[in-house]
Amino acid sequence: MYYIHTISSISNQDSFRNNDVYSSLRKFDAENDVVAPDYKEFIPRNALRRLSPILRMGLTCAMECQKNTNAEFDSIVVGTALGCLKDTEKFLTNFITSTSDFLSPTAFIQSTHNTIGGQISLGLSNHSYNMTHTQNNLSFEVSLIDAMLCINDGKKNVLVGAAEEKIPFLENLQPNIVADTHPLASGASFFVLTDEKKSIGIKKVDALFNIQSVENEIKRFLATENLTVNDIDLVLTSNNIELSFEKTIHYLQHTGLHYSASAFATHVGHDFLKSNPANNVLVVNHLCNDKLGLILLQKG
Amino acid sequence: MEIFITGYGLISSIGIGADETILSLRNEKSGITKGSNDFSSKYLVGEIKFSDNELKERFGIMQNCSRTALLGMIAAKQAFEGHSISEEIKTGLISSTSVGGMDVSEKEFRKYLQDGKQDLSQYKHHSSGVSSEQIAKELGIKGFVNTISTACSSAANALMMGARMIQSGMLDRVVVGGTDALTSFTINGFKSLMIFDEDWCKPFDNSRKGLNLGEGAGFVVLESEKSMQLSKQKAVANLSGWSNASDAFHQTASSPDGQGAQLSMTEALKVAGLTPDDIDYINAHGTATPNNDLSESQAIKSIFKENIPPFSSTKALQVILWLHRVELKLFFRFLQLTMDICIRI
């Protein structure tokens, strides 16, 4: 078991510094992208000006997690499918349309996926392991796998999370390239995994490719933990599944569409276990065709 | 648990495959020339002098893909030669890239900005994860796929992740490496940082002024002992130590004392159970920017003190932007492989 010490999420829901995100879930609010905290509390004003939404969200969640953790993180693992889109688009536009020989480097510097992890290490003056994974809709799941390996390697406080930001351009790509027709959204969720016993943890994670049947894969996954569909108290899923679960939440209806929404679903699952007489929560991420992410949360 | 390297492949401006590359290095043949694309023609770059179509034809690649994915397929296929897919060997692919399919996106986006027309379907190549999934498909790998994106340290991080997954038993065999095509995006980006040398780059030279950009890909196959017995492949080397640490100094510059590099070299030696005296050669990042080479030299001095082993950077001959380490180790046939990584932030 990989225990969860603390979680911080910024999303379309009122999730930041909310102790029970599960109970306060509401429908997606198309008027607002995310319910943002006052970033000035976390990031100096002059730095804030230059940071894109994904960097603000990632850095703020990481700092909030650090505030709730006594020791410095000894690993930082970040997942993002599409990364820093706003600065990528900005730099593309800048160099394609510019007639000057001099370009501002800020957007370029902040366009790479690892800027999120980099800003976190800079913001926390943290010299530890720092990794960025980008695997489409499974970016959070592969990051979790890395974080679990860090705990296996003897690390004690591992920050792991995922972040995405939307830009209007993405709407052009729905639904053919960006799967699904839910309204696009942004979001970030960060977790601290620890080797110390806590009340709730992540039992198992799988990132699967070229799958034939979601239902069979779920059954196989649960069987490796001696569980069946009947043992799952809550399933949080991106798509319809042809299996009958006790209770189902379609999480994209709450997060909107972004490729790391399963990280937010994991946050919801954690809070559900905390406040209900339940033992097992399954997060099913089948946003893209033949790829499947499965996360099993359990009471400790 | 020992991690064995049982295959390798690479493509860069100085050659396709290990033999060609080693020959170029021995003869000190540089691959850095004036660029042949509209966006690269003003610069000295390490370009691969074949078009996408020429490469696809030569290597029998049918997939519609970005140049980043294509270079990755060529190098990964070489690395995987002699290997075959088997139910008994849990096989994965961990690639890495910084630009992903930007070579495709930037062309479409330019059309969009200039004439308001674009082929939206082309953006399917943009996501870095897609390039890795396509490389896996080319090799017939249906299992775990992952992409790492940490700029210059990407490919080394892919090796490390692969080794750790084998140690944990999640995989028995994993093809690891990295790929990046030369793009207008990166050329303009590094131009905006003003760290280009208009001449050939000169790593660790007193007159060093900056870097040249290039493109390429390099992959190796990592296996556990159990996997090697089944695949019947021979080990060319072991991967014995690795580490990743963050300099946490500046977004684009290295600290003057190379703290991140010191931390990662120290830890990599520890993981390998070696001391600095055991190291026979260091392949340095050596970008030829004054800042990098100073930082790296200080870090090497602090670890190796009076007994600094021979070290070099082959950037003067072959420039592979952002993920060069894998290939370099190959040239020395992995005599002693200790990965060290410093994420430059």
Residues A187 and A293 in one domain: no
Q: State the burial class of residue A292 (Cβ atoms within 10 Å of its Cβ: 0-12, 13-18, 19+).
A: buried
Residues A110 and A225 in one domain: no
Task: Say whether B96 sits in a helix, a strand or coil.
Answer: strand
Q: What pLDDT shows up at residue B337?
A: 32
CB pairs under 8 A between A and B: 155
Q: Domain B3-343 carries which CATH code?
A: 3.40.47.10
Interchain contact, B127 vs A134, CB within 8 Å: yes
Q: Is cis: bond before A183, omega within 30 of 0? A: no
- Domain with A175, as residue range(s), is 2-194
**Per-residue tokens: B14:** 């100085």
Can you tell me the distance from the alpha carbon of A59 to that of B316, in angstroms, rounded to the nearest whole number?
37
DSSP assignment letter at B252: S
- Least confident interval from A163-177, A189-203, B57-71: A163-177
* Rounded mean pLDDT, A270-297: 96
Which of A82, A110, A146 is the closest to B161 by Cβ? A146
Amino acid residing at B213: L
List A residues 129-148 in contact with B (Cβ-Cβ < 8 A).
Answer: 129-136, 138-139, 142, 145-146
Tell me whether B289 touches chain A (CB under 8 Å): no
Contacts with B128 from chain A: Cβ below 8 Å: 113, 134
Nearest chain A residue to B252, by CA: A109
Residues A163 and A206 in one domain: no
Per residue in A114-147, pLDDT (tens digit) is: 999 999 999 999 999 999 999 999 999 999 999 9
Residues A182 and A212 in one domain: no
Interchain contact, A121 vs B246, CB within 8 Å: yes
List B residues 32-91 in contact with A (Cβ-Cβ < 8 A).
Answer: none
Containing H/E element for A267? helix A261-275
Q: Which residue has the tokens 């992540």?
A: A202
Residues A261 and A228 in one domain: yes
* Cβ neighbours for A278, distance < 8 A, ≥ 6 positions apart: A233, A234, A272, A299
Residues A287 and A164 in one domain: no
Contacts with A108 from chain B: Cβ below 8 Å: 185, 188-189, 192-193
Task: Identify the CATH number of the domain in which residue A275 sits.
Answer: 3.40.47.10
Contacts with A91 from chain B: Cβ below 8 Å: 185, 188-189
Nearest chain B residue to A82, by CA: B127
Nearest-CA distance from A79 to chain B in Å? Answer: 9
**Cα B273 to Cα A95, B242, B270, B325, distances in angstroms:** 48, 11, 5, 21
Which of B124, B149, B191 is the closest to A134 by Cβ? B149
Can you tell me the distance from the alpha carbon of B75 to that of B12, in angstroms, rounded to the nearest whole number?
9
Amino acid residing at B131: S
Contacts with B260 from chain A: Cβ below 8 Å: 127
**Per-residue tokens: A161:** 């999370």
Nearest chain B residue to A98, by CA: B188
Backbone angles phi, psi at B152, to 5 degrees: -60, -25
Say if the ipTM goes beyond 0.85: yes
Which of A93, A126, A131 is the closest to B248 by Cβ? A126
Is 60 exceeded by the pLDDT of residue A167? yes
Tell me whether A109 touches chain B (CB under 8 Å): yes
Contacts with A133 from chain B: Cβ below 8 Å: 146-149
Q: What is the mean pLDDT of chain A?
A: 96
Nearest-CA distance from A74 to chain B in Å? Answer: 10
Task: Say whether A236 sits in a helix, a strand or coil.
Answer: strand
Mutate to test the interface with B, among A98, A131, A170 (most CBs of B within 10 A): A131
Residues A174 and A57 in one domain: yes
Contacts with B121 from chain A: Cβ below 8 Å: 176-177
Residues A164 and A264 in one domain: no
Among residues A194, A216, A234, the one where a domain terminates is A194
CA dihedral A92, A97, A98, A99 (to 10 degrees): 150
Mutate to test the interface with A, among B40, B124, B137, B148 (most CBs of A within 10 A): B148
Residues A204 and A171 in one domain: no
Q: What pLDDT shows up at residue B342?
A: 31
List A residues 40-79 in contact with B (Cβ-Cβ < 8 A).
Answer: 76
Residues A56 and A154 in one domain: yes
Nearest chain B residue to A74, by CA: B245
Tell me whether B130 touches chain A (CB under 8 Å): yes
Q: What pLDDT shows up at residue B119?
A: 93
Give the CA count within 13 Å in the CB-facing half-sphere of A195: 13
Q: What pLDDT shows up at residue B343?
A: 30
Percent of chain A with pLDDT over 90: 95
Q: What pLDDT shows up at residue B316?
A: 61
Interchain contact, A127 vs B147, CB within 8 Å: no
Nearest-CA distance from A163 to chain B in Å? Answer: 14
Q: Considering its fold, how many domains does chain A have in total?
A: 2
Interchain contact, B127 vs A81, CB within 8 Å: yes
Which of B109, B142, B251 is the closest to A209 by Cβ? B142
Can you tell me the distance from the alpha carbon of B158 to that of B284, in angstroms, rounded to the nearest whole number?
18
Mutate to test the interface with B, among A104, A114, A289 (most CBs of B within 10 A): A114
Per-residue model confidence as pLDDT tens for chain B (345 residues): 999 999 999 999 999 998 998 888 888 888 889 999 999 999 999 999 999 999 999 999 999 999 999 999 999 999 999 999 999 999 999 999 999 999 999 999 999 999 989 899 999 999 999 999 999 999 999 999 999 999 888 998 999 999 999 999 999 999 999 999 999 999 999 999 888 888 888 877 787 888 888 999 999 999 999 999 999 999 988 898 899 999 888 877 888 888 888 998 899 899 989 899 888 888 877 777 778 778 888 888 999 998 888 877 766 655 433 333 333 333 332 323 333 333 322
Q: What pLDDT shows up at residue B344?
A: 29
Residues A82 and A183 in one domain: yes
Residues A152 and A219 in one domain: no
Mutate to test the interface with B, among A91, A109, A130 (most CBs of B within 10 A): A130
Q: What pLDDT shows up at residue B208?
A: 81
Q: What pLDDT shows up at residue B340?
A: 33
Among residues A194, A213, A240, the one where a domain terminates is A194
Task: Say whether A115 sits in a helix, a strand or coil.
Answer: helix
Contacts with A97 from chain B: Cβ below 8 Å: 113
Task: Say whether A227 sits in a helix, a strand or coil.
Answer: coil
Among residues A140, A161, A194, the one where a domain terminates is A194
Can you tell me the distance from the alpha carbon of A83 to that of A57, in angstroms, rounded to the nearest whole number?
12
Longest distance between any two alpha carbons in chain A, whole Å = 64
Tell me whether B311 touches chain A (CB under 8 Å): no
